[in-house]
């Protein structure tokens, strides 16, 4: 079965650079979530989209932005990167409204800022 | 607001002995609860979920959890630990009724399970 696809899997950037992470949800899933997991931390919710509109916002820095496109894939754009942005970034998706639906996570994108 | 508290940051068991990972939740409505597992340097894998059906939920790899409303608990158990069970386990609650639009997941702090030979 198809899963949530994230790219790139690993990314190394320097301070003050920009990074873009991509997420391809499971087919027919209309909601996408972004989470950030720092070293030794639990995942923290950043932002979510439902039917291409932002549906909820968490602890996402102003330097970060995200959107969901017409094909339901989503991109997380991170600018002016800081060392503290080094983390594992998860994308997750679900088919909202479906009985017993579940949120499925991708393998994550490792971002290292040096 | 919805939240989960994992009562142990680290649990160590011997291979072949039972596993108990404790989780209490707080929710203003009937919650949807999940357990996810994360192996080192890996993504999050769903172990099991509770969405107001049977209170005893069976998951993958022999894990199960029981939803106890009176105790606001959703503890994860396994009768016999295996070395491959060593990982980080997260108890998770949905912040909205699962059938509604949106509804993000709120993670507990995680419990690291170590399995000794």
Q: What domains, with CATH codes, occur in chain A?
A: 5-113 (2.60.40.10)
Any A CB within 8 A of B90 CB: yes
What lies within 8 Å, CB to CB, of A43 at 6+ separation is A35, A36, A37, A90, B44, B90, B107
Band (pLDDT 50/70/90 cuts) for residue B53 is confident
* pLDDT at residue number A69: 95
Q: Are A42 and B44 in contact (CB < 8 Å)?
A: no
3-class secondary structure, B46: strand
How does pLDDT run across B36-45, given as a tens digit for each residue?
A: 999 987 889 9
* pLDDT at residue number B41: 78
How does pLDDT run across B22-38, given as a tens digit for each residue?
A: 999 998 777 888 999 99
Largest CA distance in chain B: 46
Band (pLDDT 50/70/90 cuts) for residue B15 is very high
Q: Which residue of A has its CA nearest to B99?
A: A97
Q: Are A97 and B108 in contact (CB < 8 Å)?
A: no
* pLDDT at residue number B30: 74
Any A CB within 8 A of B31 CB: no
Taking contacts as CB-CB distances below 8 angstroms, the residues of chain A near B90 are 42-43
Average pLDDT, chain A: 91
pLDDT higher than threshold 60 for residue B56: yes
The sign of the CA dihedral A20, A26, A27, A28 is negative
* pLDDT at residue number A111: 97
How does pLDDT run across B72-96, given as a tens digit for each residue?
A: 999 999 999 999 999 999 999 887 6
Burial-class residue A20 by CB neighbours within 10 Å (0-12, 13-18, 19+).
middle
Q: Which residue of A has its CA nearest to B97?
A: A97
Q: Which residue of B has its CA nearest to A57?
A: B104
pLDDT higher than threshold 80 for residue B101: no
Judge contact between A46 and A31, C-beta under 8 A. no
Burial-class residue B34 by CB neighbours within 10 Å (0-12, 13-18, 19+).
buried
Residues of chain A below pLDDT 70: 1, 97-101
Q: Which helix (H) or strand (E) holds A109?
A: strand A109-113
Q: What domains, with CATH codes, occur in chain B?
A: 3-96 (2.60.40.10)
Backbone torsion region of residue A106, taken as left when φ is above 0, otherwise alpha when ψ lies between -120 and 50, otherwise beta:
beta
CA distance A46 to chain B (A): 10
CA distance A53 to chain B (A): 11
| Two tokens, residue A5 | 């696809």
Of B43, B49, B104, the CB nearest to A56: B104
pLDDT higher than threshold 80 for residue B98: no
């Amino acid at each position: 079965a198809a899963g949530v696809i994230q790219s790139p899997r690993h990314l190394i950037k320097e301070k003050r650079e920009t990074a873009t992470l991509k997420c391809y949800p499971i087919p027919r899933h209309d909601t996408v979530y972004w989470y950030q997991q720092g070293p030794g931390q639990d995942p923290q919710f950043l932002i979510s989209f439902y039917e291409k509109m932002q549906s909820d916002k968490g602890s996402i820095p102003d330097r970060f932005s995200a959107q969901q496109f017409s094909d339901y894939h989503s991109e997380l754009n991170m600018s002016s990167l800081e060392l503290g942005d080094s983390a594992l970034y998860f994308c997750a998706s679900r088919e909202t409204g479906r009985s017993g639906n579940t949120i499925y996570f991708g393998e994550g994108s490792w971002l290292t800022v040096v | 607001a919805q939240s989960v508290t994992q009562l142990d940051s680290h649990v160590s068991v011997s291979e072949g002995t039972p596993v108990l990972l404790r989780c209490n939740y707080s929710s203003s409505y009937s919650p949807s609860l999940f357990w996810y597992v994360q192996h080192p340097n890996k993504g999050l894998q769903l172990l099991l979920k509770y969405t107001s059906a049977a209170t005893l939920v069976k998951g993958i790899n022999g894990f199960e959890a029981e939803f106890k409303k009176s105790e606001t608990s959703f503890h994860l158990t396994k009768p016999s630990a295996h070395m491959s069970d060593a990982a980080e386990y997260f108890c998770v609650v949905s912040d909205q009724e699962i059938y509604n639009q949106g509804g993000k997941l709120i993670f507990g702090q995680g419990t690291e399970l170590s399995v000794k030979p």
